[in-house]
Chain A
C-alpha cells in the first residue's frame, strides 16, 4: 500500500512536534535551564499554534528562488554602475548608517534566535526560532553583498563590523540588541519578535525600501523586498508568542506588560535614527517621519492594542510622549549629528532651502518655530566660513546611549535631564522612558558600555578625540567624516556627473 500523501499541517506536525521526545532519564529542567527564571508560567506547550507551516524542502525552494532573483539584480546594478543612478551623493549616507547600524543587528538576530531556538521546552517554538535564525543570516549576507558595490565608490563602508562594535552612535543599535540577547528567552521574543518585528518593523523597512526606490537605489530596494518576504514568518511568530504567553497563565500578563513597556520605548529611541533619515537624509522624500508614525504606529498599533486590551494589556507606557515626540525627534536627532559630524562615519549637511520649505509644510507647528532658525544660523555661519563642530564629548543616556540632546516635549527649548542614584553613583537619562527602564533593572544597566565614558576612562586609546576617531574607530579622517561639502564623496560625484 502506498503511503498516504500528507497535507501541509500534518507534514509540519511531523517536522516539529514529532521530533520531540519525553525525558525519561534526564532532568527536563536541566535541559531547558532558562525556561523558568523570568517568572513566565507555561502550563501546556501543546497549545502553541505553529505560526507558519513551512517545511524545510519548501523553505529551501523558496529561498533559492529569492536569492536567484536578488543576485541577478545585484549583478545588473553593479554592471550598469547603478550607484550613478541614485539621486545624489548625500543619499548614500543613509545606506552607510544602514550597513554600520542595522545590518549587524540582523546578525545579532541570527545569533539571538539560534540561542532561544535551543532554549524553549516546546518543539514548535524551537523550530520557529531556528527558521527565523536562518532567515536573519540570509538578511545580513544579502545586505553586505548589496552594499559592497557602494564600498567601491564611496567612503565610510570599509570597516562596518569594527565600527559597529566601537563607534559612539552605533552603540545605540548595538546595545539595544545586546540588551535583548542578554535577557531571558521569553523576553527576547517579546522584545524582538513582538515589539520590534511586529509593532515597529514597518517603520524601519518601509522608509528604507521606499526611500531607496524614490532615490534610484535598486539594490537596496530589492534586498528590502527580499527580506520583507521573510517577515511573514517573523511577524506571525511575534503574534503567536504574545497570545501564547497571555493565554497560558494570568501571572504572565503583568510580566508581558512590563516587557512591552520597555521594548516599545527602546524601539522608539532606536528609530529616531530612521526619523532623521526620512526627514533629512533622503534627497527625494517619501513621507515625513510624523506621517509614518501616524500610519504605522498610531493607526496600525492602535488597532493591535485595542485587541490586546481584551487580555488586560494596555498601551505601552509613555505612548503619550511619543505623540508629542513625532513633531520634534527627527529635527533634534539630525541636529545632534550635525554638531558631531566630525566624529561620525558618514557626512552631514544643512538642509537646502527647498528641503526646509518641505519640513515647514510637514511640521507646521514646530519646524519654523523651533528648528528653522537653527539651520538659518548654521547656514549663515557656514557662509562666513565658520561651519562649527561641537568639541566637547556629549553626555549619553545610560539606557538608550543617545547623546542627551532631546528636549522636554512640552518645552522644546529645554534639554530633558533625568537621573537616578544607584549604589552611590548617579546615572543620567534622556527621558522618563529611559529612566523608568533603568530603574526596573539597574543592576543590568550599570554595566552599559557607554562610549563617552569609555573614552574618558582611557579604554579607547588616544589622548585626543582625533586619535580615538582615527586609531580606535578606524575612521579615515577627512574622508569618512565631516560635512558633505568639500568631501571626497562629493568631489567624485561631481566628476562622475560632469559638474564643477
Chain B
C-alpha cells in the first residue's frame, strides 16, 4: 500500500510506502524538504498537513508543540501517512515556475525512430493540448507494467498537441523494453503531466550552460528550442555526452541550430569513440568538456544538468569548483530501477543538488 503525498506550494507529488516517513520518501524521490536531525527532536522539517491524516511518529513534544499538533503540523522526518496527503512546506516557489496544472491525456503514437542503438524517439499526438514549460516531464502508463514511468518532453512547448520522448533501453527494464520492442505506430497510451521543477529560469539574465548525457538530451533540447524560438539573445552552451558517434544522437539537428544561431554553441563529447568514428571533437566525459571549454571557470553562468546520476554528480563538482553554486545549478536526474533506491546517508548541506 502506498500513499500519494502532494507537497505544496510546488505541487510535487511523492509516493510514500507503508511505514515510510514523508521525509525519507521525499528525499529519495528528489524532492527537497528542510530537515536537520532526522529523528524528531529538532523540528526543522515541520510541515502543515492540509488534507488527509498522518501518524505523528516519534516527534518530540519539544520539537512539535501541542498547539502545533492541534493545528495539524507534523514533523516530516517521523510522520507516516495514513491516507493520501496534501502538505504545505516552508519551501520557496520559483518565480519562473508557471505552475501549469497536471492533466490526464490519451496519446496516439505517430512515429517511432531509432535515434541511436539504445535510444528510441517516440512522438505522440495528444487528444487535448498540453501546456508545459520546456524541461518538464510526463508520466506514461505502460501496458502490463505496474506504476507509471517518467519521461522528459523533448519538443518545444510551441506545438501543444505533440509530445516527443527519448527512451533509452534499460537492460532488463520491463517498461523500456516494451517501448522499444512492442510499441508501434497507431498504438494508444495514457499519460499525465506536466511535472517537475526543471525549466529555464528566464528571469535570470545570466548565460546558460546545458550539460546532457545519454537520453538526458531530451529536456535540454526542449529548453534550447524554446529559448531560440523566443529569440532569446543570451549565450547558450550545450555539452552533449555520449559513448561514441552512434550514440551521439540528434547531432545534425543541433549542429544546424548552432550554425543558424550565433548565440548557441554546441559541444559534443565522446568518452569512448571507436576507430571508425574518426572523432575530431572532444574526447572525454562531458563535464570534462565543459571544464576544458571554460578553463574551469564558470562564474556568471546558470547551469542545467540532465542525465544519469554519475554524470550529474561529476558535473556538479566541476561547476562548484568553477564557482557556480547551488542557487545557479538546476538538474533532472534520470534514475532507473537499476540505480536502486538512493540509500546513501544524505547530509543536509544542499537543498536541491
Chain A residues close to B by CB (< 8 Å): 8-9, 52-53, 61-62, 65-66, 69-70, 202, 225-226, 228-229, 231-232, 235-236, 239, 242-243, 247, 250, 299-300, 302-304, 306-312
Contact = CB atoms under 8 A, between A and B. Distances in A.
A202 B62 CA distance: 17
A229 B346 contact: no
B42 A303 contact: no
A53 to B, nearest CB: 7
A243 B34 CA distance: 16
B158 interface: no
Interface in B300-352: 316-317, 320-321, 323, 325-326, 344-350
A311 B348 contact: no
B36 A231 contact: yes
A232 B38 CA distance: 10
Interface in B22-74: 34, 36-37, 41-44, 60-63, 65-67
B96 interface: no
A299 B345 contact: yes
Secondary structure call for the A interface: helix
A232 B63 contact: yes
Interface residues of B, number: 30
A133 B96 CA distance: 38
Contacts of A236: 34, 36, 44, 348
B44 A303 contact: no
A243 B349 contact: yes
B291 to A, nearest CB: 14
28 contacts: A53-B90, A61-B67, A62-B65, A66-B62, A226-B62, A228-B37, A228-B41, A228-B60, A228-B63, A229-B41, A231-B41, A231-B42, A232-B37, A232-B43, A235-B42, A239-B349, A242-B349, A243-B325, A247-B323, A250-B323, A299-B345, A302-B345, A303-B344, A303-B345, A304-B349, A310-B316, A310-B317, A310-B321
Nearest to A231: B42
B60 A235 contact: no
Contacts of A62: 65
Given A243-B325, A243-B326, 7 more contacts: A8-B90, A231-B37, A232-B42, A232-B43, A303-B344, A303-B347, A307-B347
A235 B44 CA distance: 9
A424 to B, nearest CB: 44
Interface in B190-248: none
Contacts of B159: none
- Indicate the member of B41, B61, B90, B346 with the most A CB atoms within 10 Å: B41
A65 B36 contact: no
B295 interface: no
* B contact patch SS: loop
A310 B347 CA distance: 13
A66 B349 contact: no
The 8 closest A-B pairs by CB, nearest first: A229-B62, A232-B42, A304-B347, A232-B44, A228-B41, A310-B320, A303-B345, A229-B63
Contacts of B326: 243
A311 B37 CA distance: 23
Contact of A239 (B62, B66, B348): B348
B36 A311 contact: no
A65 B67 contact: yes
B92 interface: yes
Contacts of B349: 239, 242-243, 304, 307-308
Nearest to A64: B65
A300 B347 contact: yes
A232 B40 CA distance: 10
Contact of B42 (A228, A242, A299): A228
B46 to A, nearest CB: 9
A307 B42 contact: no
Contacts of A304: 347, 349
A65 B66 contact: yes
Given A303-B346, A304-B349, A225 B60 contact: yes
Contacts of B323: 247, 250
Given A8-B90, A304-B349, A65 B65 contact: yes
Given A232-B36, A310-B316, A69 B346 contact: no
Given A9-B92, A53-B90, A307-B350, A229 B43 contact: yes
Contacts of B37: 202, 228, 231-232, 235
A5 to B, nearest CB: 15
A307 B344 CA distance: 12
A306 B347 contact: yes
A69 B41 CA distance: 15
A69 B62 contact: yes
B36 A235 contact: yes
B329 to A, nearest CB: 10
B317 to A, nearest CB: 5
A300 B346 CA distance: 8
A409 B42 CA distance: 36
Nearest to A224: B41
A250 B41 CA distance: 35
A10 B350 CA distance: 23
A310 B353 CA distance: 11
B44 to A, nearest CB: 4
Nearest to B44: A232
A278 B61 CA distance: 26
Contacts of A229: 41-43, 60, 62-63
